[in-house]
Structures are given as C-alpha cells and as structure tokens.
C-alpha cells in the first residue's frame, strides 16, 4: 500500500514516479529525490491541462513552474514546495554533494503535500483524496521495492555504489528522454492531423467538464495540513546543504542545547536551544543559525542568536559566527571581528567559517594589522602609491568594509592594487581575490600583471573556455579575474558562494557599472576596493554611496596635477583645430554647382537630405577632404621620433567602424610609401584585435604606428610610446574623456633618442572636446541605458500615480472609463511583477517585495502610496517573464512608451510635450494610411484618420490615448524603416581656426587654464552662472519683463564679468561683453536671450488669445509658439511671425479668415515690443 495509492487510477504516470520515490528514499536518497522531481514534472503537465494554462515558451520544468499563470494558479505555498522538489532533485541528479535520508524523506513528504493539493482540484473524484492524511514513512517502507535482480542486471558492469547510482540515473534519464522524444513525436504527428488535434481538445474539454462537475458536487473541504513551517525548514536545510552543512557530514546539529541564557519572567536560568549549530572539525560549534518564520524579518532573531553565541563562547572559549534567516533572507554577524550584522546571499561553507574564526584568533592564521604590514616597494614604491595603500589599510583596520581610490590614469592603479593584495595575503586578510573590469583586454592585461608580480598566487582568468563556461571553478586559485557580464553568468550558475572571495576589486568604479552590475557587489560578502581615474569632484554620488563615503571624499586621491608636477606622468598639450564642415556641417545650398551635382547623384537611401550637420558627419556621410586635412595636420605637426623621420605612436579616436576604415584607407592613399600597416584599424569588429594591440604596444615595431580605434583603446591600454592623440569624434562623458587623455600620459625615457625623454604629448582635437571640457558647464550625469521594458514599466507606474492623484483631487470628474484605465495600468504592473521568478539569484533579494506586489489583490482599489511606488520602481529593472516583458514586438513597445508618455503629459498638464507627441503620432497615422492594402491596417482606418487629424488632439484624454495605443500598437511593424546609406563625397573643407589649449594642470575641468574667450564661450559660461544665481533680484526683473534701469544694467554687466572669471584677461572680457551686447541689440537683450522670459508672465500677457471658446486650434498653436519662443529666447521680432514655424501654422497671420484681425495683430506687436523694450534701460 502506497501513500500515493489514491491517484493510481486517475494519474498513473504520476503515481508510478511518486510510488518509486517513496520506496527508494531509505535505500537510495539520491534516486528518490530524482524520482520526486520526475513526479513533480509529470504532475505539472496534469495541472497545465486541467487548468487550461497557456503553454510556456520555456518547456523545461523550471520554465513551466515559473510562468506567471502557473504561479498564480498554484499560489506561493505550493510554489515553494515545487521549487524545493525541483532544486533538491537537480542537486541529486547533477550535484556532487550526497543527499541524506532525512532530506529525501522531506522531499517525498513535500511531494505528498503537492499531490494532495492538486488531486482535490484537478481530479474527477476529489472526494477520494485523503485530505486529513499525513505522509506515513512506515507505509512507504512497506511499498515493494523494485526488482533487485533487474537492478543488478542493469548495473552489472558497475562494482561500487556511486558508479551504480550514476548508471541508474543515466539510464533513467535516457529512458525519460526517449519517452519525452516519443511523446514529442506523437504530439507533432497529432498536430499535423486535424482530427487527432480535435480529439485531444475534446478529451481535455471533457476532462475539465468532469473536474468542474466533481468540484460542484463535492462537499469535502481542504483541511489538509500543508506544514508550511516544515517547508520553510526544508528551504533552510537546502541552503545549508548547498554550503556543505548537513547531518550526514556530521557538521550540523538541530535544537542544540546551550546553558547560561538570561532569566525571563516565567523561565528559569539555564537552557536554550539553538535552531541549528554549525559544527567545526573538532565538533565544537563554529556558527549558530536562528530561524524565523518567513513572515518575520530574520533580524528579529539577532539578539536571541547573540545570546546563544555568548553562552557558547562562555562554555567553549570560542565565539561562533551568527546567522539569522527566514529561508528567504539571511544575515551574518561577526561581532568578535568587529563587524555589525549585514545581509548575505546564503551561508558560508565550513571551510570559510573556520577561516573566519581563525582570522580573529592569535594563531598563525590570525589577521594582523594592515597598517603595520610591509608594502612591496618593487611592485608599488612611489610615495603616492604607498600613501594610497596605507589609506586603505587604515580603513580596513578600522572595520570599514569598502574603500575607493581615485588615481589619475597612468599612475599605476593596478600595481598599487597588486601590492595591496600581496600585503593583505601576508597579513591573513585575503585568501581569494576577485578583480573585475569592463573589457576583455583590461582583464587580460591585469591577469598578466598579477601573474608577473605575484607568481606564487595562482591567477585564474575566468574569460577562458575552462571552468567558467560550465559554472565550475578551480577553488585552488588565489586571484580570479573577470568581466562583469561573465561574473553575472557565473553567479547565476552558482559557481561561487557568497563567501568565496575575501576582496573584490572594481576597476574603474563609476555609476554605470554599479547601476548595471551592482548585484555582484551585493552578492559577495567581501571587502570592496574601487579604483577610478575620474576626478574626485566628478565621481557620482551613487558611487560614493556604494563605498559608504561622503561625496567628494574618497579613501585617497592622486590627481593628474599631482602626477605631472611630481614627474610621474607627462602633461598633454592641446591643439584645437576647427574645420568648417565639422563645426557647421554641410548644406546643399552652400556647395558649388559641381558639388551639388555630386550630392544629387549619391544614393542616400530613402531620402536625400538638404543638409548634414557637423554631428552627422562621419556617421553616414564621409568627406574625403575633411579626413585628408585631419591626417595632414597630424603628419605635419605631430610629435616625431628617430630625429623627426617617423611619426611617434598615435591613437586616432574615430566615430564608428566605417569612419575608422575610411581614415585608414585615406592614410594608405596619402602616404603609400609608409607601407600598408603603418595605420591600422583596431576595433572590436576586426579579426585578431588583441594581436593588433600587442603589435601596436611593442616598442620595437614601427608598424602599426597609428592605431585607429572605436572605443577599444579608450581605456586600459598602456603604450608609453604614444605621443599623439587625435580626437576625431565628440565625447560627452567626463569619465571617458579623462580615460582617453590617459592613453598618452605614461612616461617614456629615451623616446626621442638617448637622454631625450618624453616630456609631453599632443592632443589634436577636431570636434570641440577641449573647448567643451574647458567650460564650467553642468556636466551630464553618467547614465546607464535602461531597457525598453524597464522604461515602459516606470512610465506606467508614473501614470498610475498621476491617475490616483486626479482621482483623489477631482469631484465627479473621474469617470468609469478612467477607473478602467487605472485598473488596466495596475493590471499590467501586476503581470510584470508576477512574472518574476523569486528563485532567480538576481530576483531573490527582492522576494518579499515580489510577494507583496505580485499579489493581484494589492492592485485593487486603494491608491498607491509613495512608499509602495518607490518599492515598485525598484523592481522595474528586474528580469521577468510576465506582462510587457514577454512582448517581443519592439515597434509595438516603442509605441507603448510614446503613448504612455502622452498620457502622463495629459495628466500632468505638460502641453508642449503632448503637442510634440501629437505631431509624431499624426505622422505615424498618416504613414499607416498609405498601407491600406494590409487587412489589419485597413480594419483601423477610422481610428487612423481620426488620429491623423489635428482636431482629434484637441481636448484629448488619457482614455482616448489608451484606446489608440491598444488598436495601433500591433501595426507599427508594417511601417518600413527609413534607410540611410553610407555616402562618400569629396567636397573641399577648410580649416577655420587653430588654437593652443592647455590640458591637465591649467586646462580643462577647472584646472586653472585659459583659452581665447569669444561670445559663444561667454554665453556658455554665463548660462551656468546665471542658473546658479537665479534668485538675483535684477535677473528676476529681467525675466519677468520689468523695465530695467541703468543700475540694473551695471549689475548685469558685473554678473557677466563674474561668469567669465579668469577665462581671459580683463580687457579681453570687456571687449567680448561689448561685442555680445552689440550683437543682441543691448546687454539686457543678450542676457535675456540666455535666461528667457518667465512663462507665467508671458502667459498672463497673452491670456486673451488662449481662450478656447473664441479661438480656433491654429490661433492657439500660433500664440503658444510665440510663448514658447519668448520663454526660451526672451525676444520675438515681429518679422519672425511670418517665418517658419509660424508660417507652417498660419500662412498669413494678417488674413482675418485664417489668422487675426488687424486690431489683434496690433496687440500682439505691442506685447512683443514691450517685452523687448523692457530689457533696454530708458535713455540707453
């Protein structure tokens, strides 16, 4: 008689696997767990059929049991049980750790609970289910075991138990695969035969009808005790087992008795019971684990666990590590080492716990103070390197767990790190180190450096084809190196436990790395060291937060100024070269007749442009003369070696692959005598890129001498012989700019001959980078590209908040349609969160939030609180298989984002944004109206015609926008993408300006340098300064259109002088200010053109023209365009009203039929004149 006998007739295949599992758990726990997993997988098939769940795209057991639909169907409690059955079953099949009899019994018991639950809901006779029964081990033992002669025959070539088990599992898997293959073939055949498919559907429909009828007639309640607490215990057991703690290993004891607990009311002093005691090799506890219910925080058990540790320390003389867990979250506390409690992603292994305890002792393995440790001067002996190491020593000695070093590119960050690692290894602080970088080349370079300077410490490069690919890592290594994506994959594969590394080093730590790969630093419970070349004032707030440091205060900093002044690096000398086309672009109308003819003959793709901007140049339009002039300037003025005979090594930073190839081609044509390899393209797109880098880095080679790079040589490549850098592209990241400058800062003795060392290097800038970074401009924040799914989720959350705000503030204006919109938005957010697999290693830390917001009832009714909104926002970037995340139609998702943005603009009153989106959407609708031969497009012709009209957008509502989103999102894929072909031309360019610009000490980023001041630079400086002084009373008068006085004008002039600062000599500043005032028609108008007019003031003056009851759409748009221009530029000349974009709205404003009455135009002219006159003092 089997515990599972009640399902034998209805689910024979589930019964077969379950019965064999219960029969085997005392004989072979490993096989029993595998059979339980098999039964769970077969039961999942039954649930899918009976519940009518949509098929999962991922047909694996994991894939099918983590879909949103399946998880909603079974609920969290049963989902956790299935998860346990699956994970332990996987460990039994593929893991190296032995499964104990107790573990196997627990898994079979969990299977029993799941089968009881499913049988009541999906069988035709739920009344036969023994709901009040518990799994009976004695009954299981009476189940007839498999025929041992048959097993012996199958395993006759095996003579030891482990090999027998492996053969049994292999044959079982092979049989299963064969069965699944046969089933797949049968299903395929059935799919091809319509009659068979209809029969199958009819059978399932009949089965569901029988189940429904059985549910309606049964009166049996589900009174089964599902033992959730036991499931939680087994989850903790499994986590402990993964780390190597188990009763079978004789290193785990439950309900471990301790003495000396404090007296409480109703209790006598003396006895307590540790949930789990982790035992050392000597049998004495080295760790205590306090387990709490999943509904409670594990930190609730910290004090109790600390008391247990006190008792054990008093009794044994050794203080154990303290762990607190609820099966979902785990915390560790090593108070004896001076560290407070912190969250950890699992448990330490026995070896790691023993080592942690030894390190706080006094023996040979004990930690010694780092500040007293010797630093290897051969590795890093420069004073600033020693200072940096000592700063980290002090931080770690004082129980800080993170440190950040800011060191100028080329100052030896890697060598400093290696010397620190060597010191920490000798002082018993570090056994294993992880070094992370963002590029393969940097990892390779660092691996060579570690292997060279630490030959006794085994170096493991995880980017190879070895262990990393299979998720198995040689534990004998000491220094491991990896890129961030590779390490993320290894963590997902559970190749490393959270306590594996003692120190994690982040090369070039900045916000984009943290935002994208921050989970790595959270996962490993290690000390953390960050390295960056970004100036400390430019390091992002979030980066400082990662290292628990105040903004602007790294652990130690060594700047480029200090490096150059100390003779450790050489200074850059900048040369800003401006060409007409790179600065202003190419306009068809400005070309000669011959060049215009060439322009028109080119195959541009879908549309021939009238102009190409400077930024678009070298993106798809490549001009021969521009490239030739850049190369000629390099060859004529660049640093040369061998007594001027050979150009020194040079890096040209190109815009893209085509640009790089075009540069190399033009060089070979222009200087064929230097050979085909003198200039080579070195990018990620070329074959054998690393070999090309090695050849370029070789000081003995003269080819390649010029490396044309796209991103690949921006960082981490150390070639001391580089003496020329060419910026042939724009750079907007401060971090990247300094990394690129750093390619030339290395010292190089005897570069120009014996005794003639490298003293500086040249920076040729053709794209305004030196000018840009020499301004005190507000720098764009480092950003990380968010996925389209994440942006849609964030925008939908914002819309939901906006709807809630309107519902709370409106009286009778929130309609049923609005409620439907709100409900649908909430539903989409629910589906997205519900699709997150809480067992995914990245998602797991957020399991508590996912359980809260993955509950459909949460999204019904009440408004979202700010706290809930913030928590949901934190989930938007996590992986999911639900809601918008499963939609693979990128065009549809982009349209979703646009429409959600429009809805949000409508709810928040952002009229300009809504108008811009309206124009784009009308264009999309017009494009779709040309595709009426497509049936799905034709079905929506009425909607498309409405959306294409401007009238539809007047008073458009969020509900209307939602209807359009749903009806049109699937049509976007039919619109053919515009094609822009690469075009190569040869138009004569010209050098417009050349300027020497100091870089480094006395150069960009506020280092005190000067450069020629002009009106454009003054405008840029003034914009930042005036924004910082927006509360100045004179500036406010100017922005509000109040009449300026002569005193006001003097105050404004003083502000401009302060804005200019020390960018030029005083008399030059005065001349430029005078020139600016003259160009704008007065100083007040010049400043007004920077700060604009106050929007509220302008709206008030034009209020009569914005009355929708008396004005048509064109008139309102015309006036709103005036308001927009006044707000931005401060002045609108009357003549502008007859030009684009005004003429696009109303062709003739003086036509009373389509424009304005004469008297109305007079009022408009007066308002414009008044605003202009107010910026010019009377009598000026």
pLDDT, one tens digit per residue, over 4-21 is 989 998 899 999 999 989
The secondary structure element, H or E, covering residue 236 is helix 228-242
Confidence of residue 783 (pLDDT cuts 50, 70, 90): very low
Any residues with CB less than 8 A from the CB of 517 and at least 6 apart, and which? 436, 484, 485, 487, 488
pLDDT at residue 930 in the model: 85
Query: What is the spatial distance between Cα 45 and Cα 36, in angstroms, rounded to a whole number?
Result: 14
Q: Give the tokens for residue 207.
A: 């089965």
User: Taking phi first (over 0 means left), then psi (-120 to 50 degrees means alpha), and beta for anything else, what does residue 1041 get?
Assistant: left
pLDDT at residue 781 in the model: 41
Mean pLDDT in residue range 57-85? 81
pLDDT at residue 118 in the model: 92
Q: Please, what is the Cα angle at 272 between 266 and 273, to 5 degrees? A: 130
> Would you say residue 167 has pLDDT above 70?
no
Domains located in the chain, CATH noted: 5-146+193-217 (1.20.120.330), 243-359 (3.90.1570.30), 370-565 (3.40.50.300), 571-587+613-774 (3.40.50.300), 788-974 (no CATH), 1012-1091 (no CATH), 1095-1174 (no CATH)
pLDDT, one tens digit per residue, over 724-776 is 999 999 887 777 888 888 899 999 999 988 889 999 999 999 988 887 776 44
Query: What is the spatial distance between Cα 695 and Cα 699, in angstroms, rounded to a whole number?
Result: 9
> Would you say residue 782 has pLDDT above 50?
no
pLDDT, one tens digit per residue, over 827-881 is 899 889 988 887 777 787 788 888 888 888 888 767 888 888 889 998 998 888 8
> Would you say residue 435 has pLDDT above 90?
yes
pLDDT at residue 512 in the model: 60
pLDDT, one tens digit per residue, over 652-683 is 999 999 999 999 999 999 999 999 999 999 98
Count of other CB atoms within 10 angstroms of residue 62:
15
Q: Phi/psi of residue 1111, each to 5°?
A: -115, 150
Of the candidates 625, 587, 580, 618, which has an alpha carbon nearest to the alpha carbon of residue 986? Answer: 625
Query: What is the spatial distance between Cα 767 and Cα 614, in angstroms, rounded to a whole number?
Result: 9
In this structure, the strands spanning 527-532 and 339-344 are: unpaired
Least-confidence region, from 285-289, 462-466, 782-786, 877-881: 782-786
Q: Give the tokens for residue 561.
A: 């100024």
pLDDT at residue 534 in the model: 78
Largest CA distance in the chain: 116
Q: Give the tokens for residue 112.
A: 């029993």
Least-confidence region, from 408-412, 695-699, 806-810: 806-810
pLDDT at residue 154 in the model: 43
Query: What is the spatial distance between Cα 173 and Cα 179, in angstroms, rounded to a whole number?
Result: 10
pLDDT at residue 151 in the model: 43
Confidence of residue 174 (pLDDT cuts 50, 70, 90): low
Give CA 615 to chain center in angstroms.
Answer: 27
Confidence of residue 951 (pLDDT cuts 50, 70, 90): confident
Mean pLDDT across the chain: 83
pLDDT, one tens digit per residue, over 296-323 is 778 888 999 999 999 999 999 999 999 9
pLDDT at residue 187 in the model: 52
Predicted TM-score (pTM) of this structure: 0.64
Of the candidates 1030, 1034, 1040, which has an alpha carbon nearest to the alpha carbon of residue 1130? Answer: 1040
> Would you say residue 949 has pLDDT above 50?
yes
pLDDT at residue 305 in the model: 93
pLDDT at residue 216 in the model: 61
pLDDT, one tens digit per residue, over 204-261 is 666 666 666 665 655 555 666 656 667 677 778 888 888 889 888 899 998 999 998 8
Confidence of residue 438 (pLDDT cuts 50, 70, 90): confident
pLDDT at residue 113 in the model: 92
Any residues with CB less than 8 A from the CB of 760 and at least 6 apart, and which? 570, 571, 572, 573
Confidence of residue 1005 (pLDDT cuts 50, 70, 90): very low
The residue that leads in pLDDT, 217 or 626, is 626
pLDDT, one tens digit per residue, over 547-561 is 888 888 899 999 888
pLDDT at residue 145 in the model: 57
pLDDT at residue 625 in the model: 93
The residue that leads in pLDDT, 995 or 639, is 639
> Percentage of the chain surpassing pLDDT 70?
85
> Would you say residue 172 has pLDDT above 60?
no
Query: What is the spatial distance between Cα 494 and Cα 87, in angstroms, rounded to a whole number?
Result: 12
Confidence of residue 465 (pLDDT cuts 50, 70, 90): very low
pLDDT at residue 147 in the model: 47
pLDDT at residue 162 in the model: 46
Mean pLDDT in residue range 950-971? 90
Asked whether 214 and 126 are in contact (CB, 8 A), the reply is yes
Mean pLDDT in residue range 21-37? 88
Q: Phi/psi of residue 273, each to 5°?
A: -130, 115
SS3 of 206, please? helix
Least-confidence region, from 531-545, 911-925, 1024-1038: 531-545
Cis amide linkage into residue 1141, ω under 30° from 0: yes
Asked whether 626 and 617 are in contact (CB, 8 A), the reply is yes
Mean pLDDT in residue range 67-83? 82
Residue 209 CB-density burial (10 A; 0-12 exposed, 13-18 middle, 19+ buried): exposed
Least-confidence region, from 219-228, 897-906, 1092-1101: 219-228
Confidence of residue 442 (pLDDT cuts 50, 70, 90): confident
pLDDT at residue 639 in the model: 94
Of the candidates 754, 705, 711, which has an alpha carbon nearest to the alpha carbon of residue 733? Answer: 711
> Percentage of the chain surpassing pLDDT 90?
30
pLDDT at residue 788 in the model: 87
Any residues with CB less than 8 A from the CB of 604 and at least 6 apart, and which? 980, 981, 983
């Amino acid at each position: 008689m089997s515990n599972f006998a009640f399902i034998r007739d209805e689910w024979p295949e589930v019964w077969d696997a379950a019965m064999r599992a219960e029969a085997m758990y005392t004989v072979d726990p490993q096989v029993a767990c595998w059979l339980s997993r098999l039964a769970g997988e077969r039961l999942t098939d039954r649930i899918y059929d009976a519940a009518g769940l949509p098929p999962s795209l991922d047909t694996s057991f994991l894939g099918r049991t983590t879909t949103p639909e399946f998880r909603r169907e079974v609920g969290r409690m049963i989902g956790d049980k299935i998860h346990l059955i699956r994970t332990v079953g996987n460990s039994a099949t593929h893991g190296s750790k032995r499964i104990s009899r107790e573990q196997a019994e627990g898994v079979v018991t969990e299977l029993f609970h799941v089968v009881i639950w499913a049988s009541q809901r999906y069988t035709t006779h739920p009344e036969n289910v023994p709901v009040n029964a518990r799994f009976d081990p004695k009954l299981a033992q009476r189940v007839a075991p498999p025929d041992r002669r048959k097993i012996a025959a199958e395993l006759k070539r095996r003579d030891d138990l482990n090999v027998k088990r492996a053969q049994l599992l292999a044959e079982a898997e092979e049989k299963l695969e064969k069965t699944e293959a046969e089933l797949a073939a049968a299903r395929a055949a059935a799919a091809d035969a319509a009659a068979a498919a209809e029969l199958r559907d009819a059978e399932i429909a009949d089965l569901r009808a029988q189940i429904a009828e059985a549910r309606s007639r049964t009166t049996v309640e589900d009174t089964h005790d599902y033992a959730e607490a036991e499931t939680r215990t087994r989850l903790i057991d499994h986590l402990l087992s993964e780390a190597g703690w188990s009763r079978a290993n004789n290193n785990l004891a439950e309900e471990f008795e301790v003495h000396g607990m404090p007296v409480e009311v109703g209790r006598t002093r003396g006895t307590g019971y540790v949930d789990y005691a982790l035992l050392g090799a000597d049998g004495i506890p080295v760790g205590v684990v306090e387990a709490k219910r999943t509904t409670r925080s594990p930190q609730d058990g910290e004090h109790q666990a600390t008391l247990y540790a006190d008792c054990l320390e008093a009794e044994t003389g050794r203080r154990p590590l303290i762990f607190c867990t609820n099966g979902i979250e785990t915390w560790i506390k090593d108070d004896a080492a001076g560290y407070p409690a912190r969250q950890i992603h699992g448990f330490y292994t026995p070896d790691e716990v023993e080592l942690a305890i030894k390190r706080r002792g006094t023996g040979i393995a004990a930690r010694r103070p780092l500040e007293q440790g010797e630093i290897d001067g051969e590795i890093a002996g420069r004073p600033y390197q020693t200072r940096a190491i000592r700063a980290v020593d002090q931080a770690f000695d004082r129980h800080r767990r993170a440190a950040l070093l800011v060191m100028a590119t080329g100052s030896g960050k890697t060598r400093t790190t290696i010397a620190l690692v060597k010191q920490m290894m000798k002082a018993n602080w570090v056994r294993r180190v992880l070094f992370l970088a963002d590029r393969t080349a940097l990892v390779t370079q660092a691996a060579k450096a570690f292997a060279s300077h630490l030959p006794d410490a085994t170096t493991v490069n995880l980017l190879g084809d070895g262990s990393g690919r299979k998720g198995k890592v040689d534990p004998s290594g000491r220094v491991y190196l990896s890129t961030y994506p590779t390490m993320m994959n290894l963590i997902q594969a559970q190749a490393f436990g959270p306590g594996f590394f003692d120190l994690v080093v982040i090369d070039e730590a900045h916000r984009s790395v943290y935002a994208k790969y921050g989970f790595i630093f959270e996962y490993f419970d290690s000390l953390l060291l960050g390295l960056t070349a970004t100036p400390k004032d430019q390091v992002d707030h979030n980066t400082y937060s990662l290292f628990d440091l105040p903004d602007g205060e790294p652990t130690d900093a060594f700047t480029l100024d200090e490096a150059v002044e100390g003779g450790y690096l050489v200074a850059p000398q900048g040369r800003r070269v401006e060409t007409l086309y790179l600065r202003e672009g190419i306009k068809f109308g400005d070309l000669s007749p011959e060049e215009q003819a060439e322009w028109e003959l080119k195959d541009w793709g879908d549309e021939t442009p009238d102009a190409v901007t400077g930024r678009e140049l070298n993106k798809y339009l490549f001009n021969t003369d521009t490239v030739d002039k850049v190369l000629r300037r390099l060859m004529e003025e660049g640093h040369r070696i061998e007594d001027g005979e050979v150009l020194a090594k040079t890096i040209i930073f190109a815009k893209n692959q085509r640009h790089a190839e075009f540069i190399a081609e033009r060089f070979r044509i222009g200087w064929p005598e230097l050979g085909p390899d003198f200039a080579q393209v070195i990018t990620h797109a070329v074959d054998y890129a690393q070999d090309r880098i090695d050849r370029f880095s070789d000081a003995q080679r003269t080819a390649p001498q010029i490396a044309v790079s796209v991103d690949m040589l921006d960082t981490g490549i150390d070639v001391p012989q580089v003496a020329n850098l060419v910026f042939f592209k724009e750079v907007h990241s401060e971090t990247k700019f300094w990394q690129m400058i750093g390619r030339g800062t290395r010292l190089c003795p005897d570069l120009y001959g014996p005794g003639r060392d490298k003293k500086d290097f040249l920076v040729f800038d053709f794209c305004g980078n030196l000018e840009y970074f020499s301004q005190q401009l507000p720098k764009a924040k480092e950003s990380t590209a968010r996925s389209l799914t994440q942006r849609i989720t964030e925008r939908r959350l914002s819309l939901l908040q906006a709807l809630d705000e309107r519902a709370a503030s409106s009286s009778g204006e929130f309609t049923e349609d609005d409620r439907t919109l709100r409900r649908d938005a909430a539903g989409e957010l629910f589906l997205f969160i519900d699709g997150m697999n809480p067992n995914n290693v990245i998602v797991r830390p957020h399991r508590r939030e996912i359980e809260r917001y993955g509950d459909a009832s949460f999204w019904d009714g009440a408004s979202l609180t700010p706290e809930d909104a913030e928590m949901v926002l934190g989930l938007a970037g996590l992986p999911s298989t639900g809601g918008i995340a499963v939609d693979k139609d990128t065009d549809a998702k982009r349209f979703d984002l646009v429409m959600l943005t429009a809805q949000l603009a409508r709810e928040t009153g952002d009229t300009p944004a809504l108008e811009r989106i309206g124009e784009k959407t009308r264009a999309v609708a017009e494009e779709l109206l040309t595709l009426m031969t497509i049936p799905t497009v034709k079905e929506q012709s009425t909607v498309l015609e409405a959306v294409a009209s401007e009238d539809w957008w007047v008073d458009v509502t969020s509900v209307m926008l939602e209807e359009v989103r749903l009806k049109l999102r699937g049509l976007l894929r039919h619109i053919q993408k515009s094609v822009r072909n690469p075009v190569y031309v040869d138009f004569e360019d010209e050098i417009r300006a050349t300027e020497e610009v100091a870089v480094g000490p006395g150069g960009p980023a506020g280092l005190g340098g000067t450069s020629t001041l002009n009106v454009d630079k003054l405008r840029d400086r003034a914009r930042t300064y005036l924004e910082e002084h927006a509360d100045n009373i004179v500036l406010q008068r100017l922005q509000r259109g109040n009449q300026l006085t002569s005193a006001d004008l003097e105050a404004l002039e003083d502000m401009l002088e302060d804005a200019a600062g020390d960018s030029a000599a005083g008399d030059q500043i005065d001349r430029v200010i005078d020139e600016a005032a003259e160009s704008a028609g007065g100083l007040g108008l010049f400043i007004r053109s920077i700060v604009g007019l106050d929007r509220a003031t302008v709206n008030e003056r034009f209020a009569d023209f914005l009355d929708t009851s008396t004005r048509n759409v064109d008139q309102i748009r015309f006036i709103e365009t005036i308001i927009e221009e006044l707000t931005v530029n401060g002045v609108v000349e009357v003549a502008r009203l007859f030009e684009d974009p005004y003429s696009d709205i109303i062709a003739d404003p003086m036509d009373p039929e389509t424009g304005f009455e004469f008297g109305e135009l007079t009022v408009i002219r007066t308002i414009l004149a008044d605003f202009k006159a107010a910026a010019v003092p009377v009598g000026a």
